């Protein structure tokens, strides 16, 4: 079965993370298995901790490091983002009903993954109409109701349930 995904895109500090948190919470409450992928734009970011064993393995040249604890398994892969395809990232989330992807706005702007575009202004919303395809919904601080578009606006902060129902209907087809 193909992995179902929804991208949550928008400018910095627009509410993408909060939108995803609310959607993950709503769909998890309904019994869905939900995964999340987050793009970190800081070039030197690492999830690892300098000095820890996993960091030392990476410093020694290990390309893949798997850390296993009683309630968590983490994999760190030392790769260039350009060498990783979107399908590979989604494949890491097999076994889930839906994957939410935060960010990757350039990579995912025209792909077939439906997008929730989180906007702070009319200008951002109007720009998004030409930039992103397909758009499932707008959300965020700016209500796009006044823009001539067939894309619905759903406030994920006040009505995450309605946005989760739209995802069920259009993406999960349930």
Residue 110 contacts residue 133 (beta carbons within 8 Å): yes
d(CA 39, CA 22) in angstroms, rounded, equals 18
pTM comes to 0.89
Structure tokens at 47: 């999830």
**Distance of alpha carbon 11 from the chain centroid:** 13
d(CA 67, CA 64) in angstroms, rounded, equals 10
Query: Is there a domain that residue 35 lies in?
Result: yes
Query: Is there a domain that residue 60 lies in?
Result: no
Q: How many CA atoms lie within 13 A of 3 on its CB side?
A: 22
- Residue among 73, 77, 12, 84 at smallest CA distance from 42: 12
- Residue among 86, 91, 146 at smallest CA distance from 110: 86
Query: Is there a domain that residue 39 lies in?
Result: yes
In the chain, % of residues over pLDDT 70: 99
43-57 pLDDT, tens digit each: 888 888 999 999 999
Query: Is there a domain that residue 65 lies in?
Result: no
144-163 pLDDT, tens digit each: 877 877 899 999 889 999 99
Per DSSP bridges, beta strands 98-102 and 34-38 are parallel
User: What CATH number is given to the structural domain containing 92?
Assistant: 3.40.50.300
- Looking at residue 1, what is its pLDDT? 57
Query: Is there a domain that residue 147 lies in?
Result: yes
d(CA 159, CA 139) in angstroms, rounded, equals 10
Cis upstream peptide for 134 (omega within 30°): yes
Query: Is there a domain that residue 14 lies in?
Result: yes
- Looking at residue 118, what is its pLDDT? 95
7-58 pLDDT, tens digit each: 999 989 999 999 999 999 999 999 999 999 999 888 888 888 999 999 999 9
DSSP code per residue over 124-140: HHHHHHHH-SSEEEEES
Range of the domain at 146: 4-43+79-172
Query: Is there a domain that residue 58 lies in?
Result: no
| Mean pLDDT within 109-131 | 90
Query: Is there a domain that residue 126 lies in?
Result: yes
d(CA 10, CA 139) in angstroms, rounded, equals 10
Of residues 134 and 109, more confidently modeled: 134
Number of structural domains the chain divides into: 1
Residue 108 contacts residue 3 (beta carbons within 8 Å): no
77-116 pLDDT, tens digit each: 998 888 888 889 999 999 999 999 998 888 887 788 999 9
């Amino acid at each position: 079965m193909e992995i179902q995904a929804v991208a949550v895109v928008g400018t910095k500090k627009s509410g993408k993370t909060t939108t995803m948190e609310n959607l993950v919470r709503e769909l998890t409450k309904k019994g869905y298995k939900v995964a999340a992928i987050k793009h970190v734009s800081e070039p030197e970011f690492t999830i690892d901790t300098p000095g820890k064993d996993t960091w030392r393995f990476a410093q020694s040249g290990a390309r893949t490091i798997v850390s296993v604890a009683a309630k968590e398994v983490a994999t760190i892969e030392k790769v260039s983002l350009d060498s990783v395809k979107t399908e590979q990232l989604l494949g890491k989330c097999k076994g889930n009903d839906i994957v939410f992807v935060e960010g990757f706005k350039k990579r995912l702007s025209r792909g077939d993954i439906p997008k929730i575009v989180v906007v702070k202004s009319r200008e951002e919303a109007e720009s998004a109409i030409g930039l992103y395809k397909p758009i499932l919904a707008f959300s965020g601080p700016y209500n796009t109701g006044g823009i001539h578009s067939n894309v619905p606006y759903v406030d994920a902060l006040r009505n995450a349930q309605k946005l989760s129902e739209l995802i069920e209907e259009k993406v999960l087809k349930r």
